[in-house]
Structure formats: C-alpha cells, structure tokens
C-alpha cells in the first residue's frame, strides 16, 4: 500500500476534478490496489472520505470512514434521500476552505464492493453527508459548487468542527 498525491482545486491538473468519473467494469488487483492506496492517502491527510478522482483516477470509486464505519463503494448511486441538514464541510482537494452545504439527513446508496458484489446501504447524518460529498466528486461536483447560507447566522452559533472529505 502507498499514499498517492491528492489533486487540489488550484493544481495544474485540477480540471480532472470537474470531470465525470467512469464506471468500473473490471474488479481486479488494480482496483484493490487503488482502494488500499486511497485508504492510506485519506488517513495520511486526516480525511474521512475520498473519491478516486481526488487521486487522479477517473473511476467511480469512493471510500468513507465515519465513527469507525468503513465503507468502500464502487459505482455508487444515490437511490433515495430524505430530510435535510446544513453543516460545514471541508475537502481534501479544496485546501483551507470550509463552508455550509445542504445535504440529505438520510440516504440509500446502491454500490458494489471491491469484488463486484452489489449491496445497498442506508445511512444517516455524517455518513450520509460524506457519501453524498464523495458521490458528487464522481460527478465532477465540488462542495464549493453547493455552498449554502450559514444556518446559524442569526444566533451566532457557528460550529467549529468540520468534516474533511
């Protein structure tokens, strides 16, 4: 396993972050190596989620680790969403920028594991936010494309914690 370079929005090759990722059709050692490298890269950079495009690979592959729940999703599709929450997010590809984004409170995602076996998972709160953020990456969307007004503007309760995807 190894760490890979994260593509940042101000890099020369940042255009890749705005591209649509391609569906994975081959589930082999190359995919497994990519996933293993993504885990190392994410943890090395104190993240909780990462999409393959963020390490320069245009494949629909995402990972997430929220509250010790580790998920690998290949070819993820959001198939259901419910509720709404507005929280502050950050991104490993957008260094130093944190802002509020509206996301569903609960989502159901259909995906495949590293061996191609299909699964469906329903998650809430932070994991739902993370999966939506990473699925957006596979569609060429960054969180800064979805900034929402601060929901705490009127009561001066700006939360200090941030999630880094």
Q: In what order do the strands lie in the sheet with 118-124?
A: 49-51, 61-66, 69-82, 106-112, 118-124
Which one from 87, 110, 134, 160 is the annotated catalytic residue?
134
- Tell me whether residue 157 is one of the annotated catalytic residues: no
Contact 140, 20 (CB under 8 A): yes
DSSP string, 59-121: BSEEEEEETTEEEEEEEEEEEEEE--EEEEEEETTEEEEEEEEEE-SEEEEEEE-TTS-EEEE
Give the three-class secondary structure for 53. Answer: helix
Element (H, E) at 124: strand 118-124
Residues designated catalytic:
134
């Amino acid at each position: 396993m190894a760490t890979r370079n994260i593509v940042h929005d101000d890099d020369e090759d940042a255009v890749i972050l705005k591209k649509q990722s391609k569906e994975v059709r081959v589930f082999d050692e190359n995919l497994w190596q990519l996933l293993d490298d993504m885990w190392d890269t994410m943890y090395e950079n104190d993240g909780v989620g990462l999409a393959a495009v963020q390490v320069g690979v245009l494949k629909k592959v995402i990972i997430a680790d929220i509250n010790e729940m580790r998920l690998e999703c290949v070819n993820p599709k959001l198939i259901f969403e419910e509720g709404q929450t507005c929280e502050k997010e950050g991104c490993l590809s957008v260094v130093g920028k944190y802002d509020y984004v509206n996301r569903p409170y609960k989502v159901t995602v259909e995906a495949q594991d590293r061996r191609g076996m299909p699964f469906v998972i329903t998650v809430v709160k932070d994991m739902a936010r993370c999966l939506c953020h990473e699925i957006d990456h596979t569609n060429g969307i960054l969180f800064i494309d979805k900034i929402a007004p601060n929901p705490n503007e009127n009561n001066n309760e700006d939360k200090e914690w941030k999630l880094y995807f």
